[in-house]
Amino acid sequence: MAKFEKANSINEWMDQRLAVNTLKKVMQTEYWIPKDINFLWAMGMVLAATFGILLVSGIFLLMYYKPDVNLAFDSVNYTIMTEVGYGWLWRHIHGVAASLVFLIIYIHMFTGIYYGSYKKGRELIWLSGMLLFVTFSAEAFSGYMLPWGQMSYWAGMVITNLFSGGSLEAYGLVEWIRGDYVPGDAFLTRFFMLHVLLLPLAIIGLIVLHFGTLRIPHVNNQEGAEIDFEEAAELYKAGKVKESKVIPFSPVFLSKDIFVMGVYFILFFYLTFYHFQFAMDPVNFDPADGLKTPAHIYPEWYFLWSYEILRPFSKDLGLIAFGIAQVIFLALPFLDRSPNVAPASRRGLFHIWFWIMLIDMLVLTFMGKLPPQGIWNTIGLVAALTFFALWIALPIITKSEKKL
Ligand code: HEM
């Protein structure tokens, strides 16, 4: 066993047993961040903070929620909203955070795409990030089932119906997923389990992995410059702060992160107190009724683009298109064949690709909310085909990109 000297402080006592000082160095004071980055690089920490809020508010909601088809709707809309002190506040916080987390995820993703932060050496950061996106999507979907309102029921019906297409019907896959012929008690309790246990655990594991993948390649910077981190760190430690290209994560960079978080939380609580309705569908304030299909079924805004990709196609083709759209971003580091790590503005055709992709996804989002009729249907179909055409074009246009 190691020798334990008499410790003169709690810190020393902990350090002898847990190497807390080494941990502090590795994760904070000697975790080097490039100077040349902007506020968009704070989105990762904003995401981590929003996830924290989702966990805490979720725990409060869990104390009164009842995962039973006869009780769920009232436990949310009556008990939590009117009987429990500040229950409404926790519900609004949870709903607003669930919506904003996707806005920030999309900003974080598109920042990574714009600056090429998924390229050589950083592939695992991207892949773990995309796994977080997919798991967050499942988390949001499962949470949407829990109030057991009309939209919970019918969104659950439409999405699980996808698994009844073609030969899947013969395997009884959709009944297996639902635990019944239609969404019912077994369906609700399994989505409850996913939402409060399995998926949050997976998200926590993936966040740890995501942070771990950042450690060796370090975060990218606005110019995509390759930095000699050891040399830059030595300069910083020698007091040549101006000459060094890096700053330590804590306390220097963290103070900037906290400033951005402050601004974000002003917006967050403004929305929570004054505009929480945007995160709650009015149709979901009617209890689930398997005999009354709502006139128009659509998911929350953050799923609209992929929902619109599914809609114009037949059931089988729709499922394939939807599946591909959900995971195609995983392949980005391998489909972008250019060696350049640089902002899109300096990458010729890729710059155009980036903006068309962004606009296309916005068009899909708007079309996803509109009823699938006439001209909206045609625009939706064109936007869906453009989405796939862009992915096919990506390796071709990036292969011919000139080395910067
Ligand atoms: C809850 C989910 C997530 C959390 C908590 C998180 C957290 C972070 C943090 C703290 C950073 C470092 C600072 C920064 O660049 O913001 C980071 C970087 C990064 N994340 Fe995420 N992230 C999440 C989801 C995602 C998703 C969905 C993607 C997209 C695929 C992604 C891709 C990246 C990339 C590429 C970087 C490197 C940025 C660079 O090198 O400049 N992350 N993430």
Extents of the domains making up the chain: 20-297, 298-404
> Has residue 3 got a pLDDT over 80?
no
Distance from the Cα of residue 265 to its chain's centroid: 18
Protein residue closest via CA to atom 32 of ligand 1: 129
Contacts 24+ apart (CB under 8 A), 126-130: 126/332, 126/333, 127/330, 127/333, 128/206, 128/209, 128/210, 128/213, 129/210, 130/327, 130/329, 130/330
The number of CA neighbours under 13 Å toward the Cβ of 127 is 12
Q: Could you tell me the distance, in angstroms and rounded to a whole number, from the CA of residue 404 to the centre of ligand 1?
A: 25
Q: Which atom of ligand 1 is nearest to the CA of 43?
A: 16
Lowest mean pLDDT among 225-234, 273-282, 313-322: 313-322
Check if CATH label 1.20.810.10 holds for domain 20-297. yes
Ligand 1, residues 214, 229, 302, 336: which to mutate, most atoms within 8 A of Cβ? 214
φ/ψ bin of 179: left (φ > 0), alpha (ψ from -120 to 50), beta (otherwise): left
Confidence at residue 314, expressed as pLDDT on a 0 to 100 scale: 78
Check if CATH label 1.10.287 holds for domain 298-404. yes
Q: Are 117 and 125 contacting, i.e. CB atoms less than 8 angstroms apart?
A: yes
126 within ligand 1 shell (Cβ under 6 A):
yes
Tens-digit pLDDT profile for residues 352-402: 999 999 999 999 999 999 988 889 999 999 999 999 999 999 999 999 999
Q: Could you tell me the distance, in angstroms and rounded to a whole number, from the CA of residue 129 to the centre of ligand 1?
A: 6
Q: Which atom of ligand 1 is nearest to the CA of 105?
A: 27
Q: Could you tell me the distance, in angstroms and rounded to a whole number, from the CA of residue 108 to the centre of ligand 1?
A: 6
Confidence at residue 315, expressed as pLDDT on a 0 to 100 scale: 75
> Has residue 166 got a pLDDT over 80?
no
Provide, rounded to the nearest whole percent, the portion of the chain with pLDDT above 90: 89
69 within ligand 1 shell (Cβ under 6 A):
no
206 within ligand 1 shell (Cβ under 6 A):
no
Ligand 1, residues 38, 40, 125: which to mutate, most atoms within 8 A of Cβ? 125
Q: Which atom of ligand 1 is nearest to the CA of 47?
A: 5
97 within ligand 1 shell (Cβ under 6 A):
no
For 135, residues 6+ apart whose C-beta sits below 8 A from its C-beta are 199, 202, 203, 206
Q: Could you tell me the distance, in angstroms and rounded to a whole number, from the CA of residue 389 to the centre of ligand 1?
A: 27
Q: Is the pTM higher than 0.75?
A: yes
Q: Could you tell me the distance, in angstroms and rounded to a whole number, from the CA of residue 44 to the centre of ligand 1?
A: 5
> Has residue 224 got a pLDDT over 80?
yes
Q: Could you tell me the distance, in angstroms and rounded to a whole number, from the CA of residue 133 to the centre of ligand 1?
A: 10
